[in-house]
Chains A and B, each alone.
Chain A
Amino acid sequence: MRRKRFIASLWMAGLGFASSCAAGTSSSAFGIDITLMSGAAAASGPAGSGVCVSQSLSEQNGARVRVVCDTGDFVSISAIPGARFAGTHGGAYTTYFGSSYRGVNLAGLGEFANVAGTVASFRVFGVTESEGRLDLLVSF
């Protein structure tokens, strides 16, 4: 009987101790402020901010061009999945074949569809007419 009382008193004492150790709580809420920079803002961001995006080529001709600077240097050029990849950006594609021929516009003739990964190709026109000129088109 005495032993049971002793154990009970010990348990009560322990309960009281635990109660005094966790007397209360206090809390305060705070907010998270996030500023996300992308696109032109990222390209013109402060030095060392991490990313540069090429606005001149990106997605104009079916290519997605991404240039990552500083901490992760790489250049990625790839076709947009599922999109047609024309690869006709830049260059002068009008060739004059001498005084007896009219100008021929070759722009936009090369076209690739549904490509994946980095693509390199070229078209060669062998001209046997009077001046025998060769036009070379390289696209990616």
Chain B
Amino acid sequence: MKKLVIAAATLALGMSAWTTRAATDSKNFSIDITLTAVCTVSTPANVAFTYTSNQGGASTATGGAFTVTCTNGLGYSLGLFEGATPSGAGTPTLAPAADNVVNLSYTLGLSATSGTGSGAAQNFSVTGSMAAGQPGTCVTAGGVCSNAAATNRTHTVILTY
């Protein structure tokens, strides 16, 4: 009798399980992604000039390398601004006032003024040129002067996207 009860119970459980697997239901769902496209610009290396007073040819600057990292496919433009407090989109070239320590004038430009983001860092540089025939100002004994104390030696690269 006891065996019969156990067998009946087992059968009932088995049927119950079979009934549960008898039908399925499914629902689709979507993935919503909101991507905010952004661009960032790294800090350019300082633009460096070495100039000999009254030299016969123009001087070309070294340094000025920086990178732009933008969302893939996002277009952007680059500009320069005189000073450390930028406004607007800047300009492709810049002719700041003469350095207020060594009294030498120079012009700045960009290796390119626009691009399209690839998701990876893209290389650019600030270019610089100093015209020939400038005497400059240098009162240091030995004749080598630096503009480290100049208050107008900082400029800004602006990325607009």
Binding site for B on A (CB under 8 A): 22-42, 45, 49-51, 66, 68-72
Contacts and interface: CB of A to CB of B under 8 A. Distances in A.
A41 to B, nearest CB: 4
A37 B154 CA distance: 21
Contacts of B51: 34-37
Contacts of B95: none
Contacts, number: 163
A91 B149 CA distance: 46
Interface residues of B, number: 57
A27 B49 contact: no
Interface of B: 37-57, 63-64, 66, 81, 84, 86, 89, 99, 101-102, 104, 106, 126, 128, 132, 135-138, 142-148, 150, 153-161
Contact of A30 (B37, B39, B52, B155): B155
A30 B156 contact: yes
Contacts of A45: 52
B154 A31 contact: yes
